[in-house]
Structure formats: structure tokens, C-alpha cells
């Protein structure tokens, strides 16, 4: 431009490089201050727009400027006609949808984690709170007006579209909106006559927070269970929240493979329910300040996943939901590429290696104990007096023998007159007398034989327990796990070789992943359908397939074919580069898998070491008891031998 332009203070402005051009105007960097840009309108600026920019520029400098790219001055030409505005340049960042969209996140924020997304959400809530504290309303809440820097701080841009209070008159309105971020009660309203409120902003804020925390899914994009189509804008207007507790009543269901509200804290889950409930039309939505408090609590309560350094989750969950999702769906959600300056080795490998060494040292100290010697029972051994008596016929035996003999003699004398019965009775009695000694001897023989059986049983029990079978089995399991640990480097080398063999396919995959649907300009695929596709896991050319597209609402045969044609054109533009190294993302994914294997081994080894410790303690007690029982059995056998020798005069065969 050749004409002379000035700011509000009459200072001349020099325009530098052209930064961009849109429907409203052209943006240049200021020659004398590269941190600011000049937006030159192509048409005459409306008077209300000029007034709005002047009011925004006159706001007192405060903490508001850390969240807004606030206009600083009107640009005037030599005739004092407004031609544009001066605004800060916000660079080195991306629109927020490039962060919450999983496909673009791999490109624009490759090292982002869920904790980083929570951090960004907290900063976005702070930005909205600052706007509302100054009686401003964002109005046109949308993903392109929220800019995220690499450190997770947030800047709101397109500030000249805000609703701004005008002293002494009605507010200067925001007359535009993106339907999928617009509060349901405003759908169908005449926006150039509608005064917005902070509560209306808080609907759009809740939508973007939901998308940040829920893998880019729009809260109203799901499977419609009724008849006909349910476009996203209509679902928003009809309050059809697809993830809420009333989704079945609303005839909505989550998309396939979508996680539910259980992955956020119960507090945030309740806040999303409140933000998207029909009752929220009356101004009951959570405020930006309430989101700040809740997100601060969420951030401070996150748990680090033991398997992946890029996974964090709420402490209410027993297991990492991201590990399960990545395994089930076969995608990498977070940390696709390590942050600059970090090693590409397996995440948390040093920590896992340290824990493995500790467990191995503990295991090495848990040697199988030597069997204890069998104690000697010191009790005095002496034959039982009853065993001594068993060698002699007792007095009643002699009486019985004599009586029986007498009866036998008498019976023989009376044999002629029936004395046979007396003879037989006398013989029985005479024989019983000495036979009572045999009965007494039998009990000592039985006791001796039982003692031998008891000793054999106690000996076998001692031999079995003193081999420490439970310790042996637990240590064998632990040693097998150590072998698995040591095999992981070889496994990784084999996988790298496979990746080298698949290099062309990997490059094609990476090429397709870099082709984003939201920047493709496919006819019929506007922002609403882009959001719907993203909610169903279709973000890039790699995600496009007939099977996946057939399940996406509002994507009919014509649009499916256009998407398939677009993917085919992306494939045709691919050029294989054989000398290019393996993608860092592929190696990082491999390292994450290796870390998962190591973490699994550590978990199992920790359990195995506890088993060895418990088995060792239990079996040492069992072996000690078995040794005591064996010693007692040995003593009882010796006592039984003394008794039976005394009763028989020898050991029985």
C-alpha cells in the first residue's frame, strides 16, 4: 500500500510482510513492531465495528491481555477514515481443534499427553473467566478462535467479534456463531438482535472442554436410535447429549469405540451433565470459574500410568483407560512422538530397570533353605511295666489252668454217666489260662507295627516338605519372568527389522495421517460433518474406508464416494523415499510397547517375589513341624521296640 496510515495517536504505520488474507481483509506485520499486525479491511468498516474496537482498545491494561489478542488501535487513513485495526500477533501456536482432534494432534502437538489437555482446558477456562470479569461476552465461541501455544497457554483471537458493553447504550452485539458451539436456546434466534450472556459462552466452553478431554468427540455427535438422520446442529438444538445419563430417553448412543464420562472425575461428569441438560437453558450452566476449580482438582489428582509415561488418568479408576483403548482400537492417543530433547528409549525404562534390579536382588536373597536336622528327643526310654507282665502268665491264668485241669479229670471219671461235657469245658478253661498271655503280647506287637507305619509316614512328609516345593515353583515362575525381561531387547531388534521391511507401508501410513479432513475442502464436508466424522474416529485420509464411513451418521453414499476419492488422491500423491529413516513415531510406539512388556514383567515379578517370600516363610514353618513330628515318630518307634522285645523276647517279623 502506498497511502499513509496512522494509529489513534496519529503515529504513521509502516506495513511489513503480508501474513494472510480472508474475506474481511488483509493482515500485515507492522514494520516497526513485529509483535503486532495490521488488519486492513477490504470494505468500509461499519460504525458499530469501529466503536467496538475503540472500546476494546480503551480497556485498562490488566491480566486480560495474557488471554486475549485484544485490538489496540483503529488504523486511520489521511482523511481520518477508519481502514482497519492493530492487534497483537499470536504465533507459535495452533487452533485448539488441532489439539483435541487425535489425527491432527499427532502432527501439531506430537508429544501432548492427557495431562497437557487438562492443563490447556484449565487455561481456556481462565481465559473465559477473565473475559466475563470485564463484562465481555465471547459470543462466537468456536475452535478457530481459541489459540493454543506450545506451553499450553491459551489466547482468544477474533476479539473484535466479542459482545462489548457500551456505556449509555445497548451492548455492541456479536452477530455470528458456529452452530455446534451455540447454546441450544439460541438456535433459530436472530443473532444481530440477541444479547448474549456469559452463560451462553459457558455452553461453548463446555463443548470444547468435552472435546479436549474426550478424544475430540463432540458431546452431541452419536448414533441416533430414532428414524431418519440427526445432523449435529439439530442434535444440539434438541439437547440430544449422547453421553449423558438420559441418552436412551433422547434416543442417542455413543459412537463405536467411544469412552464414556467415567474417564473424567465424578465432579466433571456431573458438570457436563449440568451444562448439556435442558434445564441449563435457564442459566444453570457451570461458570468458567467453576470449571477452573474443578479442573484444578482434576489436574492435582491425576495418576501416572505405570506402563506409559504419556498416560495419566483419574485416581478413581483402577486401571489406565488409555492403555486399554490403545490396545483395543490399535491407535496411539498421546505422545506419538517424544517431546524435543527427550530420549527415544522406552518411556520410564530407567525406573522399570531400577525396579527390576531391586526385585532381582530380593529374589537372589531368597535362597531355598537347607532342611533342618531332625532333633533328638531326650525323653528316657524304658520298657512299659505292662510289657514285662506280658512275658509271664498272670495268677488268674494259673487258677484258670488248674481249674480247667480239675474239671477235665473229673469229667473223665464221670465219662460213663455224661462227663464228656465236663471234659470239654475243663479243656477250654485250662487252655485259656496260658492263652491270656498271647492276647497281652498281641497289643504290643500292634503298637510296634503302628509305630513303624507312623515313622514311615513322618519320614515321607519330612522329605516332601524339606524339598520346599512351593518355594521351588514360585522361584521357577520368577526365573521365567527374568528370562522374559532379558528377551525384550531381542524382541525390539526383531520388531525394528520388521519395520525396516515395512518402511514403504509406514511412509504411506504417515503420509495419509498427515492429510486432515478438516483442511481438505471436500465438497459437502463442512465443520459440522468434520466434527461428526471425528466423533466416529475419522480424522485423516488413513481413517477413511468404506466400512468405517458406512457407520457415520449424515454421511451418505455421495459423500462416502467423495471421501474415498479424496483418500485415493492422497495415496496417488505419495512418493516413497527408501533412504529416509524409520519414523520417530513408529519407533516411539515400539518403545511404548516394549515399556508395556517391561511393566507387565515387573508386575508379575513383584507378585512372584511375594509368592516366594510367603512360600518360604510358610514352608520353613511346615518343615520345622515335620522335623518335630519325625523326631517324635522315631522316639515312639524306639519305645515300641523296647516294649515288644520285653513282651516277646524278640522283635516280631
pLDDT at 87: 93
The closest alpha carbon to 579, from 509, 512, 513, 507, belongs to 507
pLDDT tens sequence across 76-118: 998 999 999 999 998 888 999 999 998 899 889 988 999 999 9
CA distance 162 to 145: 11
CATH topology of domain 93-216+265-342: Transferase(Phosphotransferase); domain 1 (1.10.510)
H-helix or E-strand containing 608? helix 584-648
DSSP 259: -
pLDDT at 236: 96
Distance of CA 128 to the CA centre of its chain: 31
pLDDT at 411: 55
Residue 230: all three cell numbers together: 440427526
CA distance 48 to 116: 39
H-helix or E-strand containing 30? strand 25-30
Whether residue 622 contacts residue 458, with contact meaning beta carbons closer than 8 Å, is answered with no
pLDDT at 96: 96
Q: How many CB atoms lie within 10 A of CB 167?
A: 5
Distances (CA, A) of 555 to 179, 257, 565: 18, 18, 14
Q: What architecture does CATH give domain 5-88?
A: 2-Layer Sandwich (3.30)
CA distance 301 to 284: 27
Mapped to the 3 state alphabet, what secondary structure does 72-138 carry?
Answer: CEEEECCCCCEEEEEEECCCCEEECHHHHCHHHHHHHCCCCCHHHHHHHHHHHHHHHHHHHHCCCEC
For the chain, which ranges sit under pLDDT 50? 341-347, 398, 401, 423, 426, 430, 432
Whether residue 154 contacts residue 124, with contact meaning beta carbons closer than 8 Å, is answered with yes
Distances (CA, A) of 578 to 224, 341, 496, 624, 644: 46, 26, 15, 69, 94
Whether residue 542 contacts residue 520, with contact meaning beta carbons closer than 8 Å, is answered with no
pLDDT tens sequence across 367-410: 777 776 776 766 677 888 887 776 655 555 545 545 555 555 55
Q: Is 384 exposed, middle or buried (0-12, 13-18, 19+ CB in 10 A)?
A: middle
CA distance 432 to 92: 117
What are the residue ranges spanned by the domains of the chain?
Answer: 5-88, 93-216+265-342, 349-395+435-653
Q: How many CB atoms lie within 10 A of CB 274?
A: 15
SS3 157: coil
Burial readout 225-250 (b: 16 or more C-beta within 10 A, e: otherwise):
eeeeebbbbbbbbbbbbbbbeebeeb
pLDDT at 629: 86
pLDDT at 415: 57
Residue 357: all three cell numbers together: 534390579
pLDDT at 366: 72
Burial readout 426-440 (b: 16 or more C-beta within 10 A, e: otherwise):
beebbebbeebbeeb
Residue 362: all three cell numbers together: 530380593
> What torsion, rounded to 10 degrees, do the Cα atoms 104, 109, 110, 116 define?
-120
Amino acid at each position: 500500500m502506498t497511502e499513509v496510515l496512522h494509529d489513534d495517536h496519529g503515529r504513521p504505520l509502516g506495513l511489513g510482510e503480508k501474513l494472510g488474507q480472508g474475506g474481511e481483509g488483509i493482515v500485515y506485520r507492522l514494520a516497526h513492531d513485529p509483535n503486532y499486525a495490521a488488519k486492513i479491511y477490504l470494505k468500509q468498516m461499519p460504525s458499530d465495528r469501529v466503536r467496538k474496537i475503540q472500546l476494546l482498545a480503551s480497556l485498562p491494561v490488566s491480566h486480560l491481555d495474557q488471554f486475549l489478542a485484544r485490538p489496540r488501535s483503529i488504523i486511520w487513513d489521511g482523511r481520518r477514515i477508519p481502514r482497519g485495526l492493530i492487534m497483537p500477533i499470536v504465533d507459535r501456536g495452533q487452533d485448539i481443534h488441532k489439539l483435541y482432534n487425535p489425527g491432527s494432534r499427532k502432527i501439531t502437538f506430537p508429544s501432548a499427553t492427557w495431562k497437557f489437555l487438562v492443563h490447556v482446558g484449565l487455561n481456556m477456562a481462565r481465559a473465559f473467566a477473565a473475559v466475563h470479569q470485564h463484562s465481555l461476552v465471547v459470543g462466537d465461541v468456536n475452535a478457530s478462535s481459541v489459540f493454543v501455544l506450545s506451553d499450553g497457554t491459551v489466547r482468544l483471537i477474533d476479539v473484535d467479534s466479542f459482545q462489548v458493553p457500551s456505556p449509555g447504550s445497548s451492548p455492541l452485539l456479536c452477530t455470528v456463531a458456529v452452530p455446534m458451539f451455540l447454546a441450544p436456546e439460541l438456535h433459530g434466534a436472530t443473532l444481530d438482535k440477541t444479547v448474549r450472556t456469559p452463560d451462553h459462552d459457558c455452553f461453548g466452553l463446555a463443548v470444547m472442554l468435552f472435546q479436549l478431554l474426550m478424544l475430540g468427540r463432540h458431546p452431541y455427535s452419536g448414533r441416533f436410535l430414532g428414524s431418519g438422520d440427526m445432523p449435529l446442529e439439530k442434535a444440539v438444538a434438541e439437547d440430544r447429549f449422547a453421553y449423558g445419563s438420559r441418552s436412551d430417553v433422547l434416543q442417542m448412543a455413543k459412537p463405536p469405540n467411544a469412552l464414556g464420562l467415567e474417564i473424567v472425575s465424578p465432579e466433571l461428569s456431573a458438570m457436563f451433565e449440568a451444562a448439556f441438560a435442558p434445564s441449563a437453558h435457564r442459566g444453570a450452566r457451570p461458570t468458567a470459574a467453576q470449571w477452573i476449580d474443578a479442573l484444578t482438582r482434576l489436574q492435582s489428582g491425576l495418576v501416572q500410568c505405570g506402563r506409559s509415561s504419556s498416560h495419566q488418568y483419574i485416581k478413581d479408576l483402577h486401571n489406565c483407560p488409555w492403555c486399554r483403548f490403545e490396545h483395543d482400537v490399535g491407535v496411539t492417543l498421546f505422545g506419538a512422538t517424544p517431546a524435543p530433547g527427550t530420549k527415544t528409549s522406552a518411556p520410564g525404562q530407567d525406573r522399570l530397570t531400577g525396579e527390576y534390579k531391586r526385585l532381582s536382588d530380593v529374589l537372589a536373597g531368597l535362597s531355598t533353605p537347607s532342611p533342618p536336622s531332625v532333633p533328638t528327643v531326650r525323653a528316657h526310654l524304658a520298657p512299659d511295666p505292662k510289657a514285662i507282665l506280658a512275658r509271664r502268665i498272670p495268677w488268674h491264668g494259673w487258677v484258670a489252668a488248674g481249674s480247667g485241669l480239675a474239671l477235665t479229670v473229673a469229667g473223665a471219671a464221670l465219662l460213663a454217666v455224661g462227663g464228656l461235657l465236663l471234659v470239654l469245658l475243663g479243656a477250654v478253661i485250662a487252655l485259656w489260662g496260658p492263652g491270656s498271655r498271647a492276647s497281652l503280647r498281641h497289643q504290643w506287637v500292634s503298637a510296634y507295627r503302628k509305630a513303624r507305619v507312623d515313622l514311615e509316614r513322618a519320614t515321607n512328609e519330612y522329605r516332601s516338605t524339606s524339598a520346599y516345593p512351593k518355594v521351588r515353583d514360585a522361584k521357577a515362575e520368577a526365573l521365567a519372568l527374568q528370562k522374559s525381561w532379558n528377551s525384550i531387547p531381542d524382541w525390539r531388534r526383531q520388531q525394528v527389522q520388521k519395520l525396516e521391511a515395512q518402511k514403504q507401508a509406514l511412509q504411506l501410513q504417515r503420509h495419509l495421517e498427515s492429510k486432515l479432513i478438516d483442511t481438505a475442502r471436500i465438497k459437502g464436508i463442512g465443520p459440522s460433518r468434520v466434527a461428526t466424522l471425528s466423533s466416529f474416529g475419522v480424522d485423516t485420509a488413513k481413517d477413511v474406508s468404506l466400512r468405517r464411513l458406512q457407520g457415520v451418521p449424515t454421511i451418505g453414499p455421495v459423500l462416502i464416494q467423495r471421501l474415498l476419492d479424496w483418500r485415493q488422491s492422497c495415496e496417488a500423491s505419495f512418493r516413497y523415499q527408501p533412504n529416509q529413516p524409520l519414523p520417530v513415531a513408529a519407533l516411539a510406539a515400539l518403545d511404548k510397547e516394549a515399556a508395556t512388556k517391561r511393566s507387565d514383567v515387573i508386575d508379575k515379578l513383584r507378585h512372584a517375589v511375594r509368592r516366594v517370600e510367603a512360600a518360604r516363610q510358610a514352608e520353613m514353618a511346615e518343615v520345622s513341624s515335620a522335623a518335630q513330628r519325625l523326631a517324635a515318630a522315631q522316639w515312639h518307634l524306639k519305645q515300641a521296640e523296647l516294649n515288644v522285645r520285653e513282651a516277646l523276647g524278640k522283635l516280631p517279623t
